[in-house]
Amino acid sequence: MMILLGDFSTFLFISKVNSILEMGENMKHRLLIPLLLFVIVSIPNLIVDAEDSNHEARLKMYKDYELASGVPWYEIAAIDQYERNTYKFKEGSDKLKYDTISIFITNERWSGPENPYYYDNDSYTINLFGGIGKDGNGDGVADINNEEDVMYTMVEYIRSFDTFKEALNSYYQQDQAVKIIEEIAQLFKHFDTIVLDKRCLPVSKRYSYSFQDNYGTARSWGGARSHEGIDIFANYSTPVLATAYGVVEIMGWNDYGGYRIGIRDIYNTYQYYAHLQGYEGDLKEGDIVEPGQVIGYVGSTGYGKEGTSGKFPPHLHFGLYKYDGRCEWAFNPYPHLRRWEKEEQ
Ligand SMILES: [Zn+2]
């Protein structure tokens, strides 16, 4: 999801400007130059996923906690990333609460559901009422507004279970959330980084292709439904490329999509590739892919029982879906495809 300048950096920027405007003339000039530099240096980063910043500080924190707790950094990082992906879809949380991490623990869970003190910060009574809140920075207070305390609480929570999966099941109680967090952890571990934001077009620019914005137009086959994707027309056998770092969630036949592949990236985004002629090599569910990797070939399969082909001109149907913590919804890939196309020039 594209947002120009995340809420957080906007806030930082505005507060910088405000504090400079309140200063004397001399100070203004001395500070406006660094401010201008700050703006110029920031420009290439303006068009980024808003939730995707502050990598260095985040990674350092994950590694510090791994060292202190033994919980692998990529497990901590995956929970934090999932929370970063979903925070803005939660009620009443339009901006991140902490400087570095995105983990959001409710007061009920922190203090304990039966605790009469909704904002309890006393480890003893929190524990007594079944809350999970802990004091991580050793100041004697289990403070839900302190990110060290929140991070420590989450890591201790994970540590109290035999496996990461059990901890996730208990915390989220949602199969989809658990699966996605495990996939994010797998990607972070495999690539040994949390910077996995590279994208590319699903067809190579060395082949001829064309697409228009046909998202949301009506479909005839299989009853009334709207078109949840973009059709990229290309010749049979044109290689189809993974658009992002991701895990292959689904492969196989579907009566609508023919031979299709579904891949999930670290942003809870699901990329759906349909009507393929076939798959690349021995690609299978659970495999990890990277942007530009060949995953299959353009075909015209679908609209019937397995093997049906040729009911329409060959094309790649490309869909994007987002899991927001509760449900999964389609969004229009068109502006993204055009942007990735431009970035490859
Ligand atoms: Zn389509």
Per-residue pLDDT reduced to its tens digit, 187-213: 999 999 999 999 999 999 899 999 999
Q: What confidence tens digit (pLDDT) does each residue in 54-64 have?
A: 899 999 999 99
| Measured distance CA(146)–CA(239) in Å, rounded | 49
The alpha carbon of 336 and the centre of ligand 1 are apart by a number of angstroms equal to 16
Quick check: is 86 in a domain? yes
The alpha carbon of 198 and the centre of ligand 1 are apart by a number of angstroms equal to 24
Structure token pair of residue 204: 């190579």
Structure token pair of residue 187: 């990607």
pLDDT band at 98 (very low <50, low <70, confident <90, very high): very high
For residues 12 and 112, membership in a common domain is answered with no
The alpha carbon of 24 and the centre of ligand 1 are apart by a number of angstroms equal to 60
Tell me which residue range forms the domain holding 10. Answer: 2-49
For residues 170 and 234, membership in a common domain is answered with no
For residues 187 and 231, membership in a common domain is answered with no
pLDDT band at 49 (very low <50, low <70, confident <90, very high): low
DSSP run (H or E) holding 85: helix 73-86
Quick check: is 202 in a domain? no
Quick check: is 133 in a domain? yes
The alpha carbon of 260 and the centre of ligand 1 are apart by a number of angstroms equal to 12
Question: Which of 194, 3, 171, 180 shows the shortest CA–CA distance to 96?
Answer: 3
For residues 229 and 333, membership in a common domain is answered with yes
Question: Which residues does 210 contact at the CB level (< 8 Å), separation at least 6?
Answer: 232, 233, 234
The dihedral through the CA atoms of 145, 148, 150, 153 has a sign that is negative
The alpha carbon of 219 and the centre of ligand 1 are apart by a number of angstroms equal to 9
For residues 151 and 276, membership in a common domain is answered with no
pTM (predicted TM-score): 0.83
The alpha carbon of 257 and the centre of ligand 1 are apart by a number of angstroms equal to 8
In angstroms, what is the C-alpha Rg of the chain? 23
The alpha carbon of 190 and the centre of ligand 1 are apart by a number of angstroms equal to 32
The alpha carbon of 288 and the centre of ligand 1 are apart by a number of angstroms equal to 25
The alpha carbon of 176 and the centre of ligand 1 are apart by a number of angstroms equal to 25
For residues 218 and 168, membership in a common domain is answered with no
For residues 180 and 221, membership in a common domain is answered with no
For residues 130 and 233, membership in a common domain is answered with no
Q: Is 298 exposed, middle or buried (0-12, 13-18, 19+ CB in 10 A)?
A: buried
DSSP run (H or E) holding 252: strand 246-254
Q: Is 330 exposed, middle or buried (0-12, 13-18, 19+ CB in 10 A)?
A: middle
pLDDT band at 270 (very low <50, low <70, confident <90, very high): very high
For residues 146 and 78, membership in a common domain is answered with yes
The alpha carbon of 233 and the centre of ligand 1 are apart by a number of angstroms equal to 10
For residues 224 and 257, membership in a common domain is answered with yes
The alpha carbon of 215 and the centre of ligand 1 are apart by a number of angstroms equal to 8
For residues 171 and 289, membership in a common domain is answered with no
